[in-house]
Structure 1
Amino acid sequence: MPTESPTILVIDDDPDIVRAATLLLERNAMRVLGAADPDAAWVRLAEGSVDAILLDLNFARGRTSGEEGFRLLDRLIAADRNAVVVVVTGHSGIAVAVQAMRGGASDFVIKPWSNERLLATVQRAVALRRAKLAAAPAPAGEEALLLLGEAPAIEAARGLIGRVGPTDASVLLTGPPGSGKTLAAQLLHRASLRAERPLETLDAAVADLPTIAARVAAAAGGTLLIEAVDQLAPALQPELARRLGGLRVLSTSRCDRAGTRAALSDDLRFRLNTVEIDLPPLAGRGNDALLLARHFCALYAGRYGQPLRPLTEEAARAIAADSWPDGVHGLRQAIERAVLLGSGAAIDVSALGLVLPEDTLEPRAIKADLNLGRSEAALVAAALKRHAFNVSRAAAELGLTRAALYRRMAKYGL
């Protein structure tokens, strides 16, 4: 094994299984992360890449179909084409394990396992992962691309990305701002045979003829992503359609299907919409906002060298109830602010910039703003209001001394 210690993610709802795997693998110079369910697994993956994944296929007692595990396996492979997954199954689940291998798993281990067998299997998995990365390394410094969520529309979008990503088919992505259109486009490019070639972006809203010519030339042999294609000037549409030969073309639109079709010339529309993928607003995705929030907590804690702090129950309820008018972008910014500016052992409502007015149980998101001065002012004002301007209590909540809070109050005119 290389001198760098590999990291193994064990996804199993049985803590004894996670503990046993951890003891064995850590004795053999490996780092082990545990996750009790798929949601926890995505949080772990947000913290950084792993060299191999041990995946139990069932997360509820008495279940043997592996249905939940198969869904997670599909998502792991779709999120990272170089992922190496070893499924873990009981004696009666060999047929299920073989089915999982057909779905992309690299190997399987039977419970109760032999330590020698498990160790050898994990070592092979790590070697396979590193061989894959050596053959097709991920771009340096790029975070994992994950289209997270359990909403049916997101499941459908992931399925389409998995099916058409490896092809050269043109894809039109529609949906409101912050719904994940650009992320989906990046995943389509990452899954394609052109993944090592450029992914160039053309902002149709401000494009002119020289810009179109430059972006098309830069994308030669790769993929051209046309952002806000519905806003491209009608006079430029025939010229763009004429220049798209030899490229893989992806495009996004904030309009619905009918609006996008009405905004495009026939020639350009036929060139762009071989496959259409519609992405829903975050407010229409059920519990996905909370799943994404926990993902972003881990992502930014790692990025800024902060401890990974959980969400309080009140914060989790507020996130789930909020309408998030700015979509995933707004949620992401709120979590980033909370990681940067929050204090205490957990992330609470005030750190998120959410308020719970007395006249309603529905939270209202403070407008997403990454200016740290304005964000701090909003957090200080919210804490003071919540404690009826009791400076001692507000300072304690914010993790400040009374003097430090008074300085901030003076600074922001509070």
Structure 2
Amino acid sequence: MKTGDLLIVDDDSDILTAGKLLLKRQVNSITTCADPSNIPGLMASNNFDVILLDMNFGPGESDGKQGLMWLEKILQIDPQAVVILITAHGGVNIAVNAMKLGATDFIIKPWQNEKLQATVSSALKLKQSRSEVNTLKRTNEVLAESSGQPTSPLIWGESVAMAQVMTMLERAAPTDANVLILGENGTGKELVARAIHKQSLRGNNVFVSVDLGTISESLFESELFGHKKGAFTGANEDRVGRMQAAHGGTLFLDEIGNLPLHLQSRLLTALEQRKVTPVGSNESIAIDVRLVAATNMSAAKLADPEHFRQDLLFRLNTVELSIPPLRERPEDIPSIARHYVELYCKKYAKTAKLLSQSALDAMCSYSWPGNVRALRHAVERAVILSDRAVLEAEDFQLDPRNAGSQTANQLSEPAIPNKLGTDDDLNLDKLEKQAISQALKQHGFNISHAAKTLGLTRAALYRRMEKHGL
């Protein structure tokens, strides 16, 4: 199979012809050059995988100085260039020294055909490896940059409570201290975690997020610590665990309160030793991560040893940030709502819209059991469906049962008909929405518990919540 583009530079036309005839079946294209002064121009207009460069140009020359000079210029143009030197028997020592300066290999002329073909083949593989490494490096840089950016802007608002959170974040972020973020679902815990990472000394490295609520107990160690090929059925190749993947960066453990006690012990061991042992391996791998964790579990419940290991808690909450629910900071609602109105008008190419005072009053008095996430969804829906320049309270379809300042746990259960008589009662979409709404409120909007009650994964529940605007 042909692969790669080749440049042969030699002032001997016979060498150029012989090389081209011998190697034409091995590579995609071959460019020949008798005058080395043309090398910069050729490299500018072509992307050569391998360059064969003569050591001497001009009659009677044998000291290899010209070859070394052009080798240096080639590597200045492209430090990753793969250069094979062509030398006579007497120039072997010079060629060896040239390899110390960056040449990849050398061949002696008159060459053996098999030797030249094998040398070129090895050089092409080296070039391919270098290209793959560079591509991977660039990909990782992009991933590291993008992973450090919030998936959605972090809107703080203007309340005293959020100002205090911001102050603590700004103080904690530049350190390497572990941070535990507490808050109800939808308050923006992951966005806060990403903000901590971005403002830390590890901000240019990777941010790895792990939702512990979606990982089954049987796959916990494989996901976090990795596994070796053949460690268990289905382990068809080595896998790097999330903790190892986060080496040098930040590891965000979301929904850590849902982790069973026996798995908390395994996590604690890895954090204390700062090592992980992949499943099926006897060798430990050192890790260097900054740990940020989050949970919707209350501080009181976390302090209960029956629910959470206290030694793990002490390791996690060097700094503890508590994100207040939206209903406790209604003064933040106008700025957050206006931000999302502007955002979704741009996203959906809508004419700029304003919020009426009645809409703002209704939103500020609403309990928002889904917090900022629910507010964002309500605004997005209103922007899509309303053709008015000023959005009114009715555009947001706020559930009157959630009006006022009651907490999610104080909300009344939705009425479910005991009899299904009409066609409307049998509408599957409505029944699904009703069931999801009831499960969410029954569990205080704990996504993991609601999903378990409904027999869904967290991801599937989120998709259905998006579908029904919950």
Equivalent pair of 1:356/1:362 in contact (CA under 8 Å)? no
- For residue 167 of structure 2, the aligned residue among 156, 159, 180 is 159
Q: For 1:294-309, list aligned pairs within 5 A.
A: 294-309=338-353
- Unaligned regions of 5+ residues in structure 1, if any? 1-135, 368-372, 378-414
Instruction: Report whether the alignment pairs 1:185 with 2:229.
Output: no
Render the CA deviation track for 1:274-309: whole Å, top value 9, x for unaligned: 000111110000311122111111111122222220
Instruction: Name the counterpart of 1:347.
Output: 391
Bigger shift: residues 147-156 or 163-172? 147-156
- Relative to structure 1, is the Cα distance of residues 356 and 228 closer, same or farther in structure 2, using a 3 angstrom cutoff? closer
- For residue 324 of structure 2, the aligned residue among 280, 287, 301 is 280
Equivalent pair of 1:145/1:187 in contact (CA under 8 Å)? no
Cα distance between partner residues in 1 of 2:293 and 2:405: 35
Rg comparison, structure with higher value: 2
Cα distance between partner residues in 2 of 1:355 and 1:146: 26
Instruction: Name the counterpart of 2:364.
Output: 320
Instruction: Report whether the alignment pairs 1:249 with 2:291.
Output: yes
- For residue 229 of structure 1, the aligned residue among 256, 265, 271 is 256
Equivalent pair of 1:197/1:222 in contact (CA under 8 Å)? yes
Instruction: Report whether the alignment pairs 1:219 with 2:231.
Output: no
- Relative to structure 1, is the Cα distance of residues 349 and 248 closer, same or farther in structure 2, using a 3 angstrom cutoff? same
Letter of the 2:179 counterpart: V
Instruction: Name the counterpart of 1:238.
Output: 265
- Relative to structure 1, is the Cα distance of residues 221 and 323 closer, same or farther in structure 2, using a 3 angstrom cutoff? same
Equivalent pair of 1:153/1:280 in contact (CA under 8 Å)? yes
Q: For 1:47-196, list aligned pairs within 5 A.
A: 145-196=153-204
Instruction: Report whether the alignment pairs 1:334 with 2:378.
Output: yes
- For residue 206 of structure 1, the aligned residue among 209, 214, 219 is 214
* Secondary structure at the counterpart of residue 298 of structure 1: helix
* Secondary structure at the counterpart of residue 249 of structure 1: strand
Render the CA deviation track for 1:49-84: whole Å, top value 9, x for unaligned: xxxxxxxxxxxxxxxxxxxxxxxxxxxxxxxxxxxx
Letter of the 1:297 counterpart: V
- Relative to structure 1, is the Cα distance of residues 252 and 139 closer, same or farther in structure 2, using a 3 angstrom cutoff? closer
Letter of the 1:307 counterpart: T
Render the CA deviation track for 1:313-363: whole Å, top value 9, x for unaligned: 221111111111111111000001111111111112222113669xx9999
* Secondary structure at the counterpart of residue 302 of structure 2: helix
Cα distance between partner residues in 2 of 1:247 and 1:324: 35
Instruction: Name the counterpart of 2:33.
Output: none
Render the CA deviation track for 1:100-159: whole Å, top value 9, x for unaligned: xxxxxxxxxxxxxxxxxxxxxxxxxxxxxxxxxxxx976799666323212222111100
Equivalent pair of 2:148/2:198 in contact (CA under 8 Å)? no
Letter of the 1:294 counterpart: R
Letter of the 1:196 counterpart: N
Cα distance between partner residues in 1 of 2:347 and 2:147: 17
Measured after TM superposition, the shift of residue 182 of structure 1 is 1.4
Cα distance between partner residues in 2 of 1:165 and 1:284: 25
How big is the alpha-carbon RMSD for the aligned residues of Structure 1 and Structure 2?
3.1
Render the CA deviation track for 1:13-64: whole Å, top value 9, x for unaligned: xxxxxxxxxxxxxxxxxxxxxxxxxxxxxxxxxxxxxxxxxxxxxxxxxxxx
Cα distance between partner residues in 1 of 2:182 and 2:152: 23
Measured after TM superposition, the shift of residue 193 of structure 1 is 1.3
* Secondary structure at the counterpart of residue 330 of structure 2: coil
Equivalent pair of 1:170/1:275 in contact (CA under 8 Å)? yes
Instruction: Name the counterpart of 1:292.
Output: 336
Cα distance between partner residues in 2 of 1:210 and 1:361: 46
Instruction: Name the counterpart of 1:261.
Output: 303
Equivalent pair of 2:183/2:295 in contact (CA under 8 Å)? yes
Equivalent pair of 2:213/2:255 in contact (CA under 8 Å)? yes
Cα distance between partner residues in 2 of 1:165 and 1:274: 12
* Secondary structure at the counterpart of residue 251 of structure 1: strand
Cα distance between partner residues in 2 of 1:329 and 1:137: 24
Cα distance between partner residues in 1 of 2:267 and 2:160: 34
- Relative to structure 1, is the Cα distance of residues 261 and 247 closer, same or farther in structure 2, using a 3 angstrom cutoff? farther
* Secondary structure at the counterpart of residue 354 of structure 1: coil
Report the identity percentage: 32
Measured after TM superposition, the shift of residue 175 of structure 1 is 1.3
Letter of the 1:315 counterpart: A
Letter of the 1:201 counterpart: S
Equivalent pair of 1:238/1:267 in contact (CA under 8 Å)? no
Q: For 1:330-409, list aligned pairs within 5 A.
A: 330-354=374-398
Cα distance between partner residues in 1 of 2:209 and 2:148: 19
Cα distance between partner residues in 1 of 2:192 and 2:368: 20
Bigger shift: residues 298-307 or 335-344? 298-307
Equivalent pair of 2:148/2:197 in contact (CA under 8 Å)? no
